[in-house]
């Protein structure tokens, strides 16, 4: 069964890029339809449960590629529902990066200074707040103390968690039961709906075709609500303007599949993918040393043994975010929690004599799980990911009814990428093996390749048409009326968590997108306040639009 509807704007995906666009366009008066492949869950549906089929596997997505696996959200709200809500701004030097292309990767119009007012808009909207040491969970405190012991600095990271509401359950990856985490379900999306936007969950967009009037037809399939391997009806929606925000692992795939009808895609569609230079190390702490060397103890008498307690990453070390260091040698380190199920298999036994990721020694390591500390590196990779031919539907061949699939991304880390990873491995060892505090080993890349929760750059903005798919207004080169506002538009690795930068870029793109919609005959205006009505940040950006 196929039916054709029409609207002003179709937004594909409801993560940061999609939600922000949907809100501004709807608030400005456009008819907006959001198509999201995943289900639409509310706080009371977010379970603390590892069972296959619980909210945890319904809202999560894990696509294994050739040399790189991507973790992300699969629900209304996208990655914001499963994310850890650590929301720092990218350091100034990031915008000056050249990467492998021999020229500045970012458009000339974007620097940290020009992006700051747009960062402000997002921090007001979610909101994002500065954090205090008093409320940093044990794991973050431990990492901070170890950094200080090693002569380094550490900072509580800015966060979009309302810490007064947070119970430190560390179930953020299954969605926040307590609405303490400021996901998009609490701000941009309900505000978009209040302004008339319609969100359709379980609608997976497959491709776009061009209409005679310069608009686009969006082709989707309805996804089974329990078994995502099953696709039901198909449908089509005609729109004057399309916002593509399916995430860096899906946006280029939709465009590749659309190429036979739309015509040639820019060279950079599906190229220059970055995993944000991610790398993980797991440390197994010696509890006695934690007490004796760092002087830490908990009310129950233990020193640490609290891996399970907290709210993801809360403390970061920014000593290597130094713009005077050479490119590929700068990175941040962040304490992290990763739940069992996904978070133990790749951890390797430090100094293993047999297999490092399974077997006898691994089981012994698992016995000490509460004394683990995971350290997350975000470094400068080389944009070396390339997407192969698209799968039949979606962006992956789905293996399990939910969560697990394999996709067409190929990633072979270059020597540059390895330089950052090796330097950061050494830094983690220096901090955590000092005075016998812990034993440390990086996660293996042998099983699912490298892995990222921060996919970026697969359809990026830039000034050079040869190496960027979008112009600096986020319009797809050669395909007017298609805009990309998700993480795929970010030019490269950021050395910090990316969601705030993705969101700030989407905010920055909105005045131009509204203008383009008007030129296409949509009655829409730019100028909505923050979703809760706050106006300080809107006032601040007004002179720039």
Neighbours of 527 (CB within 10 A): 15
Q: CA dist 18 to 12, 165, 273, Å?
A: 7, 27, 20
| Rounded Cα distance, 535 and 123, in Å | 12
Q: What is the CA radius of gyration of the chain?
A: 22
- Of the ranges 9-17, 128-136, 234-242, 484-492, which one interacts with other proteins (CB under 8 A)? 128-136
| By CB under 8 A, residue 527 contacts other proteins | no
Chosen residue from 345, 352, 540, 545 binding other proteins by CB under 8 A: 345
Near other proteins in 1-40, by CB under 8 A:
none
Residues 372-411: x where in contact with ligand FAD by CB under 6 A, - otherwise, as a string? ----------------------xx----------------
Nearer to other proteins, 227 or 464 (CB): 227
| By CB under 6 A, residue 33 contacts ligand FAD | no
| By CB under 6 A, residue 82 contacts ligand FAD | yes
| Rounded Cα distance, 443 and 338, in Å | 12
As a whole number of Å, the end-to-end CA separation of the chain is: 44
- Of the ranges 77-85, 364-372, 466-474, 507-515, which one interacts with ligand FAD (CB under 6 A)? 77-85
| By CB under 6 A, residue 254 contacts ligand FAD | yes
User: From the list other proteins, ligand FAD, none, which binds 82 (C-beta under 5 to 8 Å, kind-based)?
Assistant: ligand FAD
- Of the ranges 11-19, 103-111, 168-176, 255-263, which one interacts with other proteins (CB under 8 A)? 168-176
Chosen residue from 64, 105, 180, 246 binding ligand FAD by CB under 6 A: 246
DSSP secondary structure, 18-44, as one string: HHHHHHHHHHTT--EEEE-SS----GG
Dig out the tokens for 516 from the structure. Answer: 């383009």
Q: Which of these, 272, 284, 280, 313, lies nearest to 445 by C-alpha position?
A: 280
Near other proteins in 468-487, by CB under 8 A:
none
Chosen residue from 7, 13, 407, 408 binding ligand FAD by CB under 6 A: 13
Which residue in the block uniquely carries the two structure tokens 């949907």?
Answer: 22
| Rounded Cα distance, 37 and 116, in Å | 32
User: From the list ligand FAD, other proteins, none, which binds 504 (C-beta under 5 to 8 Å, kind-based)?
Assistant: none
For ligand FAD, how many residues bind (rule: CB under 6 A)? 45
Three-class SS of residue 374? strand
Angle at 441 between CA 375 and CA 100, to 5 degrees: 70
For other proteins, how many residues bind (rule: CB under 8 A)? 87
Instruction: Cis check for the bond before 35: say yes or no (omega within 30 of 0).
Output: no
Residue 497 in contact with residue 111, Cβ under 8 Å? Answer: no
User: From the list other proteins, ligand FAD, none, which binds 64 (C-beta under 5 to 8 Å, kind-based)?
Assistant: other proteins
| By CB under 6 A, residue 334 contacts ligand FAD | no
| By CB under 6 A, residue 487 contacts ligand FAD | yes
CB of 403 to ligand FAD, least distance (A): 11
Residues near 468 by beta carbon (within 8 Å), at least 6 away in sequence: 107, 266, 268, 460, 461, 462, 477, 491
Q: Which residues pair with 482 in a beta bridge?
A: 242
Chosen residue from 1, 2, 3, 134 binding other proteins by CB under 8 A: 134
| Rounded Cα distance, 45 and 17, in Å | 24
Residues near 444 by beta carbon (within 8 Å), at least 6 away in sequence: 346, 348, 356, 357
| By CB under 8 A, residue 101 contacts other proteins | no
Near other proteins in 425-454, by CB under 8 A:
446-448
Nearer to other proteins, 95 or 526 (CB): 95
Chosen residue from 11, 12, 284, 409 binding ligand FAD by CB under 6 A: 12
- Of the ranges 13-21, 97-105, 283-291, 405-413, which one interacts with ligand FAD (CB under 6 A)? 13-21
Chosen residue from 31, 195, 454, 538 binding ligand FAD by CB under 6 A: 454
Chosen residue from 221, 362, 429, 439 binding other proteins by CB under 8 A: 362
Angle at 322 between CA 319 and CA 328, to 5 degrees: 105
CB of 24 to other proteins, least distance (A): 23
Three-class SS of residue 174? helix
Chosen residue from 98, 363, 464, 519 binding other proteins by CB under 8 A: 363
Neighbours of 394 (CB within 10 A): 26
Phi, psi of 281 (to 5 degrees): -125, 140
Binding region for ligand FAD (CB under 6 A): 12-17, 35-38, 71-75, 78-80, 82-87, 173, 204-205, 245-248, 250, 254, 312, 394-395, 453-454, 486-487, 497-500, 502
């Amino acid at each position: 069964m196929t039916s054709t509807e029409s609207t002003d704007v179709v937004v594909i995906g409801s993560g940061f890029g999609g939600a922000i666009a949907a809100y501004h366009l709807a608030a400005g008066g456009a008819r907006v339809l959001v198509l999201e492949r995943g289900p639409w869950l509310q706080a009371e549906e977010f379970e603390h449960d590892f069972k296959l089929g619980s909210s945890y596997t319904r809202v999560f997505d894990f696509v294994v590629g050739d040399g790189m696996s991507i973790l992300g959200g699969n629900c209304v709200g996208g990655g914001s529902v499963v994310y850890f809500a650590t929301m720092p701004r990218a350091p100034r030097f990031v915008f000056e990066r050249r990467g492998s292309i021999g020229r500045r990767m970012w458009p000339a119009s974007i620097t940290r200074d020009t992006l700051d007012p747009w960062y402000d808009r997002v921090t007001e909207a979610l909101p994002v707040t500065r954090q205090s040491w008093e409320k940093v969970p044990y794991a973050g405190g431990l990492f901070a103390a170890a950094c200080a012991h090693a002569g380094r600095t550490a900072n509580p990271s800015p966060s979009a968690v309302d810490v007064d509401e947070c119970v430190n359950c560390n179930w953020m990856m299954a969605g926040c039961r307590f609405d303490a985490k400021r996901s998009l379900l609490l701000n941009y999306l309900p505000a978009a709906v209040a302004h008339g936007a319609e969100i359709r969950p379980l609608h997976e967009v497959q491709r776009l075709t061009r209409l005679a009037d310069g608009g686009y037809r969006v082709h989707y399939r309805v996804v089974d609500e329990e078994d995502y391997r099953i696709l039901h009806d198909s449908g089509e929606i005609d729109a004057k303007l399309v916002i593509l925000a399916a995430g860096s692992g899906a946006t280029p795939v939709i465009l590749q599949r659309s190429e036979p009808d739309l015509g040639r895609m820019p060279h950079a569609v599906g190229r220059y993918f970055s995993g944000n230079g991610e790398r993980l190390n797991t440390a197994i702490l010696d509890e006695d040393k934690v007490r004796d060397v760092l002087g830490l103890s908990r009310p129950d008498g233990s020193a640490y043994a609290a891996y399970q307690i907290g709210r993801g990453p809360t403390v970061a070390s920014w000593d290597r975010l130094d713009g005077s260091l050479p490119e590929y040698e700068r990175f941040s380190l962040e304490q992290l929690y990763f739940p069992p199920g996904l978070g133990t298999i790749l951890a390797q036994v430090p100094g293993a004599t047999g297999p490092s990721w399974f077997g006898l020694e691994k089981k012994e390591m698992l016995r000490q799980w509460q004394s683990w500390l995971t350290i997350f590196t975000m470094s400068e990779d080389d944009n070396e990911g390339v997407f192969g031919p698209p799968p039949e539907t979606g962006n992956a061949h789905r293996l399990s009814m939910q969560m697990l699939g394999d996709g067409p991304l190929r990633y072979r880390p270059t020597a540059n990428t390895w330089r950052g990873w090796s330097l950061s491995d050494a830094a983690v060892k220096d901090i955590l093996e000092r005075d016998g505090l812990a034993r440390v080993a990086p996660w293996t890349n042998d099983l699912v390749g490298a892995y990222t929760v921060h996919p970026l750059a697969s359809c990026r903005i830039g000034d050079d048409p040869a190496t960027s798919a979008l112009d600096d207004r986020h319009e797809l080169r050669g395909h007017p009326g298609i805009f990309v506002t998700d993480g795929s538009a970010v030019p490269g690795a950021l050395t910090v968590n990316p969601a705030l930068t993705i969101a700030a870029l989407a905010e920055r793109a909105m005045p131009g997108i509204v203008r383009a919609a008007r030129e296409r005959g949509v009655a829409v205006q730019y100028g909505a306040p923050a979703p809760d009505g706050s106006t300080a940040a809107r006032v601040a950006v007004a002179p720039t639009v």
